[in-house]
Structure 1
Amino acid sequence: MTYRSEQFVLFEGTFMPIVIRNYTEADFDEMIALQAACFPPPFPEELWWNRQQLTEHVQRFPEGAICIESNGTLIGSITSLRVSMNDDDLSHRWEVVTDNGYIRTHDPNGNALYIVDICIHPAFRKAGLGKWLMNAMYHLVIKLDVQRVLGGGRMPGYGAVANEMTAAQYIEKVVAGTLQDPVVSFLLSTGRMPVMLIEDYLEDEASKNYALLMEWKNPFHT
């Protein structure tokens, strides 16, 4: 099952052509370069995608490996796997669920599509590409007839105000719209809904290791 969508997006006053499609082995060098552009130092280089991880993505769950290109250049990507998660046991760490990004934990019969990573090249972050990548995941959830999309949203704005409020208070303000968070606010704008706050989700100083688990329920699932 392959995914391909061609369209135009408004960017800097003009319409830019984009192609949303599955990434393949031929894209690995560009995928790694994209990670370097999205997560520059002091973000550790060893946490960028490596070729072994990308190989696992395209071999284990190619449907969940999606990228955006424009004029032949890769400018965004999103990666997912299928997992089984129940509402009474949702607390988890990113590295456990995603197998540190290798997705060897992929369950072909899982009841949810779990977002491993999403990144947009910094030069194109005002083109709305993240929403189109998330829409591709929603399309996939419907096609596979699984219950929902799940994923932990980092809270990189929290670190700056952690001495003033708890993580729960911070999220309450972000959801109310009185504070803006670079990740959580974006995910809310794509239709993702808050599920629960997770402590010790990922080693992430900016988020104080917190994440907000968020979902999008498949409206067609019975």
Structure 2
Amino acid sequence: MRKRIIVSDGSRTTEAEIRRYTRDDFKALIEVQAESFPPPYPSELWWNEAQLHEHVTRFPEGALCVVADGKIAGSMTALRRTLADGDGHSWAEVTDDGYIRNHEPDGDTLYVVDLCVRPAYRSLGLGIWLIQSMHETAVHLGCRRLLSGGRMPGYHKQADRLTPEQYLTEVAAGRLRDPVVSFLIRCGRIPVGVARGYLEDEESCGNAALMEWRNPFLA
């Protein structure tokens, strides 16, 4: 995977490249995490070099980054698993706490482990380009779908009147807006359920929206 693109936010335009990340990128990838998830987000949850080593050696096809202005501006990581529709899971269970040692080379689902973009580059749509590139990876590998557990950071504002499932329905219908779920819908994802106890996230009340993209070249 190596793709050159031109991105713009209407006021600035720059060239960017999407490619696989390598060992030489580890320091920059951790910097991206630090900028994307500042305190009070715990620094011990940023990528560490042991996790990144597993990504690039165990499943390099799922280790993507985007470079703009000569530096890594964002990254996206995935692994392959075979998961039945409706399977319940947490982020830690499905990704091996981000180490992806449970990667299945023939897994039918390309599962998103992480997506992050430096705040200064978010207006350029680099997250959308990374997601599109992972869709292309799913097609290239013959996976039946791409799946992720998306945060629901707006849910805590509605938790006193809506269940997580009801909240997801309202967002999918456009009656409510969620910063993450609404973004994923714009990227072509379809909500297929809620994973409760997915991760420790006060804003999402521990929930995640299971968001799916089906490979259109497979029946």
TM-score of the superposed pair, with normalisation by structure 2: 0.97
Q: Which residue of 2 aligns with 1:190?
A: 187
User: Is 1:92 the counterpart of 2:89 in the alignment?
Assistant: yes
CA distance in 1, matches of 2:123, 2:171: 20
Query: Which 5+ residue runs of structure 2 have no aligned equivalent?
Result: none
2-structure distance, mates of 1:164, 1:123: 35
1:140 lines up with 2:129 in the alignment: no
Name the structure 2 match of 1:219: 216
Q: Which runs of 4+ in 1 moved over 3 A?
A: none
Pairwise mapping of residues 122-201 of structure 1 onto structure 2 (< 5 A)?
Answer: 122-201=119-198
One-letter amino acid matched to 1:35: Q
Q: TM-score, normalised by structure 1?
A: 0.96
Is 2:123 aligned against 1:119? no
CA drift of 1:11 comes to 2.4
RMSD: 1.0
Task: Give the whole-Å Cα distance in 1 for the aligned partners of 2:61 and 2:204.
Answer: 30
Q: Could you tell me how far 1:13 is from its partner in structure 2? A: 1.5
Q: Take 2:175 and 2:124, find their aligned partners in 1: how far apart are those partners?
A: 24
**C-alpha distance in 2, partners of 1:182/1:73?**
26
Deviations for 1:125-171, whole angstroms, at most 9, x for unmatched residues? 11111110001111001100110001111101111221232212211
Instruction: State the secondary structure of the residue aligned to 1:216.
Output: strand
Structure 1 position 18 matched with structure 2 position 7: no
Contact 2:33–2:116 (CA<8 Å) still a contact in 1? Answer: yes
Partner Cα separation in structure 2 for residue 14 and residue 39 of structure 1 = 25
The amino acid across from 2:165 in the alignment is A
Equivalent residue of 1:200, what SS? coil
Secondary structure of 1:21's aligned partner: strand
2:69, 2:173 → 1: CA distance?
A: 39
1:111 counterpart letter in structure 2: D
The DSSP-based 3-state class of the residue aligned with 1:125 is helix
Say whether the 8 Å CA contact 2:172–2:182 is kept in structure 1. Answer: yes
User: Greater CA deviation, 168-177 or 210-219?
Assistant: 168-177
Aligned residue in 2 for 1:32: 30
Specify the code of the residue in structure 1 equivalent to 2:70.
G
Q: How far 1:12 moved relative to its partner? A: 4.5
In structure 1, stretches of 5+ residues that fail to align are none
1:5 CA drift (Å): 0.4
Residue 45 of structure 2 is matched in structure 1 by: 47
Aligned identity (percent) is 50
For residues 12-57 of structure 1, what are the alpha-carbon distances to aligned partners after superposition, in whole Å with 9 as ceiling and x for unaligned?
A: 4232110000000100000000000000001000000000000000
1:81 deviation in Å?
A: 0.2
Which shifted more, 165-174 or 67-76?
165-174
State how far apart, in whole Å, the 2-side matches of 1:125 and 1:174 are: 22
Secondary structure of the corresponding residue to residue 123 of structure 2: coil
- Provide Cα deviations, 1:46-80, integer angstroms capped at 9, x if missing partner: 00000000000000000100000112111111000
Quote the residue 1:69 is aligned against. 67
CA deviations on 1:76-126 (whole Å, 9 max, x unpaired) are 110000000112x51111101100000001000101100000001111111
Corresponding residue SS for 1:207 = coil
> What is the total number of aligned residue pairs between the two structures?
219
Q: Which amino acid aligns with 2:191?
A: P
Alignment-mate amino acid for residue 150 of structure 2: G
